[in-house]
Amino acid sequence: MRSWLNNIQWCPWCWDTLIIWAIKKAFEELWIESHKRVVVSWVGCSWKASQYIDWYAAETLHGRTLPFATWVKIANPELTVLATWWDGDWYGIWVGHFIHACKRDLDITYIVMDNENYALTTWQASPTTPIWAKTKTTPDWNTSAPFNPITIAENAGCSFAKTADSIKFVEMKEIIKEAILHKWFSLVNIHQACPSYKRW
């Protein structure tokens, strides 16, 4: 455990670290063999997730996490496939993949680290930014209401869509375990504390 914690390159106060820890614990507690674990990620602050999880891993192109994860699962259904994505990417730029993954309903566990802003690109509004929040792209206040990923997922056919909170470690870990055990597509939208930019 020390080795991956020593390699962390997020802001020292970033709650992504707790999310990764919860993911690792969830897999350990479910006794999933390490050669059957795969994590797929892409670009964003949280993309480093796959570098801190020493399973089979792929860092794909911007927005291609789910298409890639889909083909991993189809190629080898024995694998437990975890895909990690973030609010700006998943709910904004590549929202089409999200809708169709819910509809297709394959056994993929999808973790969204939702810090309510585009953090790596330094603080722009995302689809989950609160309506009154100030960011670089909403210098006075955000004029559009955030959408609800859970409702959208359910309406698109997702049979497991839950929220978790990065500051509630045990609850977050248990929800991740439930999602892994769910044998269809599962979404866990984690409210991720990002003290550098999420100041609301």
Ligand X SMILES: Cc1ncc(C[n+]2csc(CCOP(=O)(O)OP(=O)(O)O)c2C)c(N)n1
| Sites of contact with ligand SF4 (CB under 6 A) | 10-11, 14, 16, 45, 115, 119, 194-197
Q: By C-beta, is 80 or 189 nearer to Mg ion?
A: 189
Instruction: Tell me how crowded residue 184 is: count the other CB atoms within 10 A of its CB.
Output: 14
| Interface pattern 85-124 for ligand X (x via CB under 6 A) | -xxxx-----------------------x-x-xxxxx---
- Does 87 sit near Mg ion (CB under 5 A)? yes
Angstrom CA distances, 29 to 26, 52, 65, 170, 176, stand at 5, 18, 25, 12, 11
43 binds, among ligand SF4, ligand X, Mg ion, none (CB under 5 to 8 A by kind): ligand X
Contact partner, 11, from ligand X, ligand SF4, Mg ion, none, Cβ < 5-8 Å per class = ligand SF4
Of 35 and 62, the one with the shorter C-beta distance to ligand X is: 62
Count residues near ligand X (CB under 6 A).
Answer: 17
- For residue 100, the minimal CB distance to ligand SF4 (Å) is 27
Pick 44 or 149: Cβ nearer ligand X? 44
Binding site for ligand X (CB under 6 A): 43-46, 62, 86-89, 113, 115, 117-121, 126
